[in-house]
Amino acid sequence: MITTTLLSRSYAGEADLEKIVTFLNLVEAHDLVEEGSSVTELREEFNEPSFDSANGLRLYENEYGELVGFAQLYLAEDAAENDGFLWFKVHPAYRTDRIEPLMFAWGEEQMHKRGRVKLRVMAHDKETARQALIERHGFIPVRYFLRMRRALSEPIPDPVFPQGYQLRAGDHDPQAWADLYNDSFADHYNFHPRHAEFVRHWQNDPDYCSDLNLVTTAPDGTLAAFAWCHIHSERNKRSGRLDGTVGVLGTRPGHRRIGLGRAMLLSGMHLLRRAGMSNADLGVDASSPTGANTLYESVGFKTAYSRVLYSRDLNA
């Protein structure tokens, strides 16, 4: 059993990036849950407008200065359920139920400072030991999220748009796109609205491609649906696959049940195949109120794995 001294500290900025990435990829090589990273990806993530890197990151080191644990707390500005999400990793040799309670306590402390009451954590479906540990600390499963994948070598139906609806690609107005996103997802579980500043940050991502940023306009010219697709070059290097992602797909109320979601999804898949991708993947709430997982299955997507979202009420 590891009995070494543990030290915890805040994020020290750019100087820590390489150290964190090396640690995360070491853990990923053991766990194989598709959660590796790179300096470029981590920098983009820490620089998101709504993320507080000064207070939302915690590093755990042994007496030799080696990183053995890492925690990241997301506190969205507009949290309807007054929640926060704690993402954490522990070195395989240090999983003795010693570092994890320190991470939970740190997360709770940060939550209390901001008046938040629901702490969320997540586990991959294959991480049975992690799930058991999370549940021992009072978290209960509240939702399941699927990661679905589909080979693009298989035939892809042509998209069919309702009469008067037009597909457009490009750098759409950030505020208009944020409004479209918010209207489309307002009825989804644990919805957090996006703002124009966040959209601009996405558009500055090194992998961003405006040709994969799709919207559909309604006959009156308003935005009705969207499919923002990505090709994550660093992730593909790690996996050795050529995967393209349908990052977010949504349809505004009032334009649903007329085939727009299917047409947008198929359009994105065609574009990813033309870009040289072998597979398309996406994430979906297993209990999606719009039945999105049924749509994805209807065009050939299959579940690759799932993750369990846990929650603990800090006032209980």
Where are the domains positioned within the chain?
6-138, 148-307
d(CA 223, CA 305): 33
Q: What is the pLDDT of residue 225?
A: 98
> pTM value?
0.94
* Confidence band for 292, pLDDT divided at 50, 70 and 90: very high
pLDDT, average across residues 142-161? 98
d(CA 24, CA 290): 35
Taking residue 99's Cβ as centre, other Cβ atoms within 10 Å add up to 22
Quickly name the fold that domain 148-307 has: Aminopeptidase (3.40.630)
Q: What is the pLDDT of residue 198?
A: 92
DSSP 8-state symbol, 147:
E
The two domains 6-138 and 148-307 share their CATH topology (first three levels equal): yes
CATH H-level superfamily of 6-138: Gcn5-related N-acetyltransferase (GNAT) (3.40.630.30)
Among 200, 148, 140, 147, which Cα is nearest to 171's? 200
How far does Cα 303 stand from its chain's mean position?
Answer: 16
* Confidence band for 2, pLDDT divided at 50, 70 and 90: low
